[in-house]
Chains A and B, each alone.
Chain A
């Protein structure tokens, strides 16, 4: 049970805290955007007059500060804004080049819409920057721009870029990321204490409760800080990975019984864990300079610990095989903490811009951009499906607006663009899509009717910064508010840029929006009509299948050795692709369901990651130069998908105690791998302070 659901009072408190956190994290960006858009519009009109080129200056600021709004350090942000500006300028040229032909315009719109959606699976600055390219192409195609106006258009885009960059660097330049960093630091303190008391026979259960409590607080903070899917910067992504890593370690630790007095010698590893977690906490709080105090190294100690565990097993098994196996099982407590420490130190180093010296222990999802992209080129990928939907909807919007000769027809396209990532058929997302559509229509009503009643360029100019401020604050919130806020701003903005307003502006905007909505509804109803919930389920099924295949492949590797190595590698690779696809599908789901409690699929993802850790242990076992005689019997156990694998492997080892003595290293690897697979088979709930599963 999460803190938000314990009582009505705490629910309200949770909602209030989330709102406060939400506003805290957004007002700086909103002020920055409002100032920049006002200055950009004013200067653009001053320099270029009320012509089409001014749209490029204004929408450049919208692209850079409303959609992208990069975070990270100063050099990273300058590079990111620079890249987005250059991509946008390329879009101006590309859009102008094809604008003369309706069919070329449609073609380039389709290609860019699909490519942009697929690129979002990369979750990086490059992926975010592509939005500038898309917006500049769409404006150029829909105005439509002509070669004779290319220089003014590029000049206007450059003006917008300079203003946006200046605002990003001068107006509240530091991103508000401290809250989650503080939560992670608190969690690391709790983990350090657990490592300490586990080694010195302290109150392990109390220390574990503190760790779980810190984890629950961290999860609550993370839920209120989810970014718009696909627009997460490198720093945000690393922080997200750290939250996941902390969650994973906590969930596994919660399943373990408190260690007994049977101890594998672990002084060095326990101390290193404690030191690593304290180092992590200090760096995250900004209390430590990494140049003066480099990250503790744990990888070597983990290898030494494995050898010591094997030696201890061989020594104790002489008198009592049962106690030897029990001691190795107890030692998992420290091994899991050391894995978490190693992973998190690695991530903190990457967060601080330092290349880690040790490899990442946890086999993460694919990181090579080419492999990530190719893993998404499948109908099982959520991003692929949305890419096809977006391409068809955007292409159709351009075709209708251009072929019917709609003046300022980019409104049709912009309306479609706002909804294109929402599915209309899955019951769970229907409400969100409907709210987004209503938000757009209401935004048009408020924006246009308001200005029709009171009129005047001066009023529109005065309203501009306030509508921009509201739009940015509401961005990423409820679809109705988010779309409504943006639409009101966009109407006021285009009125300022295109003054004097035509008499039929209300009718024209309403028609544009309705056409955009209709096109999107039709495209999403006819093409891959499934919402994120069902797509996540599809990705989950594919991941389950890959899990089963990988497990069998690894069992084969264990049984017949090197001959099955290729099959096992292929199965592991398929698992990694399925895991990447599943993780990519989970991100937008998280965004839409952040207030719905535990995230569906989190257990499956954790299970796949545990499976991959188990796979490394199987690799160790298969690579043992003198495998135990009973290894084929152990391998047989691995081929069986039922739970209780750890017990069965331990029973096998006990049944032939001499194998423990002769092959202690292989035995430790087998126990370790079997336990990870058992974890993968079990459905681990999010642990709670009251009831860690290890205490049950």
Chain B
């Protein structure tokens, strides 16, 4: 399952082969310096905005891939209704990264501490 890792000065959303196929995208990597905020949401389906292209989406079940809205893109790796990490960036590729995680709050806290951002 997709998860967020920090390797050196880069933050990466790592995916399995199935997820890469579904998202039609390789692992997403952004510079740590581009991350401006890390937060969580209890139901990411309420904050989705735009059209998914390319990727795989079934409402309420799976949202894998790129969501395009006016002027920005969001990369999602979300399964069913449940907590997810929301990472906001200034990277030109993606303005937000939304990744399902059962322990989203703990991960957000750890990431924030590591990034020294709030």
Chain A residues close to B by CB (< 8 Å): 403-406, 504, 507-508, 511-512, 515
In the bound complex, residues from chain A placing their C-beta under 8 Å from that of B20 are: 404-406
The answer to whether A508 touches B26 (Cβ under 8 A) is no
In the bound complex, residues from chain B placing their C-beta under 8 Å from that of A508 are: 17
Task: Given contact pairs A404-B21, A404-B24, A404-B25, enumerate 17 new A-B contacts (beta carbons under 8 Å).
Answer: A403-B26, A404-B20, A404-B26, A405-B20, A405-B26, A405-B27, A406-B17, A406-B20, A504-B17, A507-B16, A507-B17, A507-B18, A508-B17, A511-B17, A511-B21, A512-B17, A515-B21
In the bound complex, residues from chain A placing their C-beta under 8 Å from that of B17 are: 404, 406, 504, 507-508, 511-512
Q: A682: shortest Cβ distance to chain B, in Å?
A: 58
Q: B97: shortest Cβ distance to chain A, in Å?
A: 17
Contact residues of B between 1 and 53, Cβ < 8 Å to A: 16-18, 20-21, 24-27
Complex Cα distance A156/B107, Å? Answer: 45
Q: A658: shortest Cβ distance to chain B, in Å?
A: 85
Interface of B is mostly: loop
Would you give 11 A-B contacts (Cβ < 8 Å), ordered by A?
A403-B26, A404-B17, A404-B20, A404-B24, A404-B25, A404-B26, A504-B16, A507-B17, A511-B17, A511-B18, A515-B21
* Nearest opposing residue in chain B for A510, CB measure: B17
Complex Cα distance A512/B20, Å? Answer: 12
* Nearest opposing residue in chain A for B24, CB measure: A404
Complex Cα distance A405/B13, Å? Answer: 13
In the bound complex, residues from chain B placing their C-beta under 8 Å from that of A515 are: 21
* Nearest opposing residue in chain A for B27, CB measure: A405
* Nearest opposing residue in chain A for B19, CB measure: A404
Chain B residues close to A by CB (< 8 Å): 16-18, 20-21, 24-27
Number of A-B contacts (CB under 8 A): 23
Complex Cα distance A504/B21, Å? Answer: 15
Complex Cα distance A512/B17, Å? Answer: 9
Q: B53: shortest Cβ distance to chain A, in Å?
A: 15
Complex Cα distance A595/B24, Å? Answer: 44
* Nearest opposing residue in chain B for A404, CB measure: B20
In the bound complex, residues from chain A placing their C-beta under 8 Å from that of B18 are: 507, 511
Complex Cα distance A511/B24, Å? Answer: 14
Complex Cα distance A404/B26, Å? Answer: 4
In the bound complex, residues from chain A placing their C-beta under 8 Å from that of B21 are: 404, 511, 515
* Nearest opposing residue in chain A for B25, CB measure: A404
In the bound complex, residues from chain B placing their C-beta under 8 Å from that of A404 are: 17, 20-21, 24-26
In the bound complex, residues from chain B placing their C-beta under 8 Å from that of A507 are: 16-18
Complex Cα distance A504/B26, Å? Answer: 17
* Nearest opposing residue in chain B for A509, CB measure: B17
Q: Which 8 A-B pairs have the closest CB atoms?
A: A405-B26, A511-B17, A404-B20, A404-B26, A508-B17, A405-B27, A511-B18, A406-B17
Complex Cα distance A404/B22, Å? Answer: 10
* Nearest opposing residue in chain A for B20, CB measure: A404
Q: B77: shortest Cβ distance to chain A, in Å?
A: 14
* Nearest opposing residue in chain B for A514, CB measure: B21
* Nearest opposing residue in chain B for A511, CB measure: B17
Q: A501: shortest Cβ distance to chain B, in Å?
A: 15
Complex Cα distance A404/B24, Å? Answer: 7
Q: B46: shortest Cβ distance to chain A, in Å?
A: 29
Q: A620: shortest Cβ distance to chain B, in Å?
A: 67
Q: B65: shortest Cβ distance to chain A, in Å?
A: 12
In the bound complex, residues from chain B placing their C-beta under 8 Å from that of A403 are: 26
Complex Cα distance A404/B21, Å? Answer: 7
Q: B19: shortest Cβ distance to chain A, in Å?
A: 10
* Nearest opposing residue in chain B for A504, CB measure: B16
Q: A693: shortest Cβ distance to chain B, in Å?
A: 60
Q: B21: shortest Cβ distance to chain A, in Å?
A: 7
